[in-house]
Copies of this chain bind each other. A is one copy, B any other.
């Protein structure tokens, strides 16, 4: 394979053309609105902890923004996944399907439930789960017994699937819903990266039984640390709120805890930040789309690399702008990473695939050829909301 030796410099120039001659982190939070006002209000009223108006307002604002009937604010996206899986009925000894090409929180949350991650392949277009390949795999390797999907090899129930909308690009949700119906596998939708992203004009995270969001500092909007569970099911929402607040039942001055609960409630201080961040989310989404358009022009003339666009019938939030190299060529990828990072332009390769990480090597998996290929060809480039404004 011949190395296009100019590509690293071409890519650096294209990024510089968009972001200017400055240092650029991969993704930094921007505070354009009422952040200080709301934080100050927390201190002035002393409501900084797990009870307060901002927590309930943030939940209500999230529900309004996403169109989910209910939102439950928690300490982070990992906690949201953990609780969503528990409430989806994931038991110890179950298996849960997850892309190998995703952040480690997903596999960890499965392990917290005592269950096994079962890794599935991704497809090149949206970077989401390859539904066609998955259907063939499930047909061959599972059987329906009493309404459950049994892994024929392990004998375990395949209880749930966690599609993830990678870097903000919605996966093939219709295809996944068909899989869910066909094989009796519950969808818990990982929308950690996709706040503001829509599939057929409906917000990601609202298609599964539950969906999860993340407001970590590197996300489109942040609460410092934070996450949320979305659902249209009132009982599930009440259960989620209950077990994330230590399963406390109050009666006047007395209270009990009626099941094993978790201390996962988002503090009011963090929710205050979230309320302000949510107010400016539409402007941020526009800025990120503008940034995509600028990058798109800048990269249009380059060979051997393409900038990932939103899938058909989808509106992506363009959380992390993503380059996809045409060829699997690790030395080339690394030279691009080295040149850009050395120049103060922060770029990052894909996650190391989960099934290759030490704690997860022994768990079941399908052929993961596309994930493997993508993991050698992906590069994320500076994506902060304020970058489009800088030039």
Listed in ascending order, the chain A residues whose CB lies under 8 Å from chain B are: 28-31, 35-36, 39-40, 42-43, 46-51, 75-79, 104-105, 107-108, 111, 216-218, 222, 224-225, 246-247, 252-263, 265-270, 273, 337, 341, 347-349, 352, 357-359
Contact = CB atoms under 8 A, between A and B. Distances in A.
B337 A253 contact: yes
A263 B341 contact: no
A-B residue pairs, 8 tightest by C-beta: A49-B217, A224-B267, A224-B269, A78-B263, A225-B267, A48-B224, A104-B257, A76-B263
A104 to B, nearest CB: 4
A273 B263 contact: no
B267 A359 contact: no
A36 B29 contact: no
B348 A50 contact: no
Copy number in the complex reads: 2
A84 to B, nearest CB: 14
A27 to B, nearest CB: 11
A359 B50 contact: no
B49 A43 contact: no
A35 B43 contact: yes
Contacts of A79: 263
Contact of A261 (B39, B104, B246, B269): B104
A31 to B, nearest CB: 5
Contacts of A347: 253
